[in-house]
Amino acid sequence: MVMNSLYECKVMHCRLKPKRHAFNYRVFMFCVNLDELSSLDKKLIGFSHNRFNLFSINDVDHIDVGEAGGIRANLIAWLAQQGVECPPDSKIKLVTFPRVLGYGFNPVSFYYVNHHSGEPIIAVAEVVNTFREMKLYMIQNQNSTGIWSSRVTKNFYVSPFSDPGAEFDFKLNHPAEKWCVNIDNYDGGERTLISSVHGEKRGLTSARLFWYMFKYPLLSLKIISLIHWHALVLWIFRVPFVRKTERREAQIDVMRPHSSLTKNSQ
């Protein structure tokens, strides 16, 4: 059985090159069984699925393959397009940031797909940039200790201070009492950025959701504000940056593409 929970997390970013810059902050994330979103909507005060509330998870914030089938159906359809078939009774766990008072921004979410028996099938990272574009990455390799890993070309404009043609190196474990994610950036074979999320499991209750409204006020706004603030710091430090329109050819298979990708080059 996939248990629904929260993870109280510490997020760390450390840029190594061309200039060192590091920061960290605390957040919380939902960890939910996609099959139980509707029942959680009815069970929890302060949480809704596809409706306004203190906290909510909305289908439109997640994978979109052009059909209104919901998160689960869209993910399974996308995996099938990649050659990964999921049994109809597979269990899918989503770890994500919620909307807060209707506003949401998810820089990254994670899906864990298991057979009904609990045997793992695949993990997927869902990355969103500040243009609200989205790209999914399959993380297929799992070692004997349960760590999922994959090193892939980004082909996505995540930050103006990172080339879209660089690489992501994903390492993550399956959510348990503790949950850890590491996403490093490699450019030209050199590691240029270290990012990590370290979380501890908490019960998903109405009382805790109300407490987190005060402990983590305006969570989504905090995340997007920090992204822009630290981008300003890097700009002040004169860290070289890449404009989104400069590397269109390196932005491939992007969902919800921005007009900078769809319009003809001038």
pLDDT one-digit tens code per residue, 3-20? 899 999 999 998 888 888
Q: Tell me the whole-structure pTM to 2 decimals.
A: 0.93
47-59 pLDDT, tens digit per residue, is 999 999 999 999 9
Q: Are 27 and 55 in contact (CB under 8 A)?
A: no
Burial class (CB in 10 A: 0-12, 13-18, 19+), 130: middle
Average pLDDT for residues 188-206, to the nearest whole number? 94
The reported pLDDT for the residue numbered 266 is: 44
Q: Are the C-beta atoms of 114 and 121 separated by less than 8 Å?
A: yes
| 118 pLDDT higher than 50 | yes
Please report which residue ranges of the chain form alpha helices under DSSP H: 37-43, 70-81, 206-215, 219-236, 259-262
**Measured on CA atoms in the order 71, 77, 80, 86, is the torsion positive or negative?**
positive
pLDDT at 264 over 70: no
Q: How far is residue 249's CA from residue 266's CA, in Å, rounded to a whole number?
A: 15
Average pLDDT on 173-194 reads 94
